[in-house]
Structure 1
Amino acid sequence: MRTLSQRLAAAMFGLALVACGANAAGDSPESVKAAVEKKIPGRPVTSVRATPIKGIYEVVFGPKQVVYTDARGDYMLVGDLVDIKQRISLTEQRIRELSRTDFAKLPLDKALKLVRGNGARKVAVFSDPDCPFCRKLERDTIAKLDNVTVYTFLYPLKELHPDAARKSALIWCADERQKAWQEWMFEGKLPANDGSCATPVADLLVLGEKLGVTGTPTMVFENGEVLSGAIEAADFEARLVAKK
């Protein structure tokens, strides 16, 4: 992963390639959207808005791909836009904002459910049974949490783990699903069934695509924040109680 200084250098180099003149009369997010969609057919633009740099617009493709363009859509920048004074990536900040989802609308009935303590704090995790980072999250982070409810969405990434879909079915079809999940993640033991019951995996893959889930583990916290990776227990705790 690049450091902030590296991203800053790359962003400033990219901006130097664009003529950042004053906006021409009539330029607007709507006209930029029309220009970009005309020049890049087949890539619908989700949103466009001005950036702090005159003549440069933020363009969002799909759920959360952020790029930058001039008002005519003749030039495009792919990379981080950095606020030098605040030392923050406006691109990363925007992607986090776009990634937020309504936790209350998640299909929690299609998840495995683990309750610890009073279960007051809630989080949903998209997890692949053959993902080593998912196993690390379970063993090093989730195992250390208390007063939490963890909803696990089985999310086999077949391109990376060809046997993950079969294992997901075996776990879902077990008499005690959460127990089967933990036995697999902690002991490498799969339940003894044929995995032939109806599972929610296909629906969860569609859901994950809609939310922009491209890797596992991906967590959805109760405040709507979406985060990927096997983060440490202290960081996980902080996000469980974050209000926004």
Structure 2
Amino acid sequence: MVKRTPIIVWLPPLVFIAALAWFSWAAWFKPTTMQAIQALIPGTTVSEVRPTPLDGVYEVIAGPNIFYMQPGKPYLLVGHLFDLSNSEDLTQLKKDQLAHSVAPQEQTP
């Protein structure tokens, strides 16, 4: 007589392995946020994409330009993003950071 392993023993690991394979496959084929945004604006070189405090809205940097987009949505917002809780212009802060990072270094004799 052949002794069978109960289903309760082999089913959970099998389900776990199948779920792991599914999520790995889904993550492999899901485009990144950068790819999704780049697909919406072909011909534009996007150098950086970062999340903003607004759910689903990303700050996009293309050369000296800063604008805002949602991946998968055909809309582009140009303007300044303000944090009203502390009266900060988040767009201007980023523009200042970019200006300092690309400004030529002064040489002292």
TM-score when normalising by structure 1: 0.30
1:99/1:52 CA distance change after superposition, 3 Å: same
The change in CA–CA distance for 1:87 and 1:36 in structure 2 (over 3 A counts) is same
Give the alignment of 1:3-42 within 5 angstroms. Answer: 31-42=32-43
Matches within 5 A, 1:1-244: 31-62=32-63, 64-101=64-101, 106=105, 108=107
Which has more radius of gyration?
2
Distance verdict in 2 for CA 1:88–1:40, change over 3 Å: same
Report how far residue 31 of structure 1 moved. 1.9
Which structure 2 segments of 5+ residues have no match?
1-26
Aligned residue pairs total: 81
TM-score (norm 2): 0.62
SS in 2 for 1:80: coil
CA distance in 2, matches of 1:65, 1:81: 14
Number of the residue aligned with 1:201: none
Is the alpha carbon distance of 1:90 and 1:102 closer, same or farther for their aligned partners in structure 2, counting shifts above 3 Å? Answer: closer
Equivalents in 2 of 1:70, 1:39: separation in Å? 10
- Report the Cα offset of residue 85 of structure 1: 0.9
**Residues 32 and 73, structure 1, Cα contact 8 Å, conserved in 2:** no
RMSD: 2.8
The aligned counterpart of 1:226 is: none
Distance 1:43 1:32 in 2: 15
- Amino acid of the structure 2 residue aligned with 1:89: D
Q: 1:73: how far off? A: 4.3
Q: Secondary structure at the match of 1:58?
A: strand
Q: Which runs of 5+ in 1 are unaligned?
A: 1-25, 109-121, 123-148, 150-244
Indicate the residue corresponding to 1:3 in structure 2. none
**1:44 is paired with a residue of what secondary structure?**
coil
Identify the structure with bigger relative contact order (alpha carbons < 8 Å, sequence gap 6+).
1
SS in 2 for 1:66: strand
Give the Cα–Cα distance (whole angstroms) in 1 for the partners of residues 48 and 86 of structure 2. 25
8 Å CA contact 2:51, 2:58 repeated in 1: yes
Given residue 68 of structure 1, which amino acid in structure 2 is its aligned partner? Y
- Tell me which amino acid in the other structure corresponds to 2:76: M
Distance 1:98 1:37 in 2: 20
> Equivalent pairs: percent with the same residue?
30
